[in-house]
A = this chain, B = another copy of it.
Amino acid sequence: MPQAAVAGALAAAREGVSVVLVGDEGAIRQELRAQGGELPVHHAPDTVRMEDHAAEVRRRKDSSIMQAMRLTKEGDASACVSVGHSGATMAAALFVLGRLKGVERPAILANIPTAKGFCALIDAGANADCRPTHLQQFAVMGSVYARLFYGLPNPSVGLISIGEEPEKGNELTREAHALLQKTPGIAFYGNVEGRDLLKGTTDVVVADGFTGNVMLKLAEGEAKVIFGWVREALTGGGFGTKLGAALVRSALRRVAARLDPAEYGAQPLLGVDGYAFIGHGSSDARAIKNALLTAKRAVEAELLPKIKAGMAALEPARAS
């Protein structure tokens, strides 16, 4: 268990989260001692490593991710947060928690900072190949999430495509567009384009997991590159520029913080029968603390029963 995970867990515990650490007990207790903290530990002798195949997880019942998911399934924990192998986390969640009724494909939801606040991008990478009904289910789950987490009574839903008109796009989006138009319980805005993501045109952005993952990683990567260029321009200039840079540093830091994934913690895996969160692989202590706080907030807001209700409301519409 790395230093950052223990530090993040201790920080979350100080803010009221009851954290159980799952992993190699000896190593965790040692790190807890080193940091002068105390938390309950659930021993798991095995670890799924980044280079392992996600599918292996089913056979590795003693791994930390399978043990943590099992604790969640059995009610000993309310939620499972993992910053490890995201494929293995998804596989473990599907295997142990199972799918919710009406959800064909659980999906990852990513909070994207926008000019207007946040938007919920779903699916951010769980399903590389999707059918129109999958996108419809993502829209319903994303709407429930945006209602609870963004406090919006009627969040708007955009479908990522390559033109605003319903007939623009690929085969998948054209069929999904027609389906979303007649989906009850969501406020379908219509097609949106790549530029709409950070503009915040809609509160929810629906995409297949391939497109969604490419978008998420592009958005994160571009912010890094642009701030790198800004840093270079400000430190590479003459005396006036350097003086100016010193004066605007804290203002620019606040802008960079708006785009830092660590700010908005972990990404929920929606559509499984339990609370599962996937953190960034490169999470620092603050990201881990925020991930644990996000998990607590989801449980307290009753995200899971509300998603169940949203999916149930979709059923009669699908049967008709």
Contact = CB atoms under 8 A, between A and B. Distances in A.
A59 interface: no
A198 B245 CA distance: 24
Contacts of A226: 198, 222-223, 226, 255, 259
Interface in A61-99: none
Interface in A196-213: 196-199, 208-211, 213
A173 B173 CA distance: 18
Interface stretch (A30-38, A39-47, A146-154, A228-236): A228-236
Q: Is the interface of A mostly helix, strand, loop or mixed?
A: helix
A132 to B, nearest CB: 14
A20 to B, nearest CB: 30
Contacts of A241: 247-248, 251
Interface residues of A, number: 58
A265 to B, nearest CB: 20
B129 A171 contact: yes
Contacts of A114: 225
A14 interface: no
Q: How many copies of this chain does one complex carry?
A: 2
A271 B304 CA distance: 50
Contact of A213 (B194, B208, B223, B228): B194
A243 interface: yes
A259 B234 CA distance: 17
Which of A161, A211, A245, A251 counts the most chain B CB atoms within 10 A? Answer: A251
A260 to B, nearest CB: 13
Contact of A215 (B199, B218, B223): B218
A194 B221 contact: yes
Contacts of A229: 115, 255, 258
Interface in A163-196: 168-171, 173, 193-196
B214 A160 contact: yes
A317 interface: no
B233 A230 contact: no
A118 to B, nearest CB: 13
A118 B86 CA distance: 31
A169 B210 contact: yes
B162 A210 contact: yes
A244 interface: yes
Contacts of A258: 229
B254 A233 contact: yes
Contacts of A161: 210
Contacts of A19: none
A240 interface: yes
A230 B252 contact: yes
Nearest to A221: B195
Nearest to A209: B162
* A-B pairs with lowest CB-CB distance, top 6: A244-B247, A195-B221, A194-B217, A194-B218, A244-B248, A128-B170
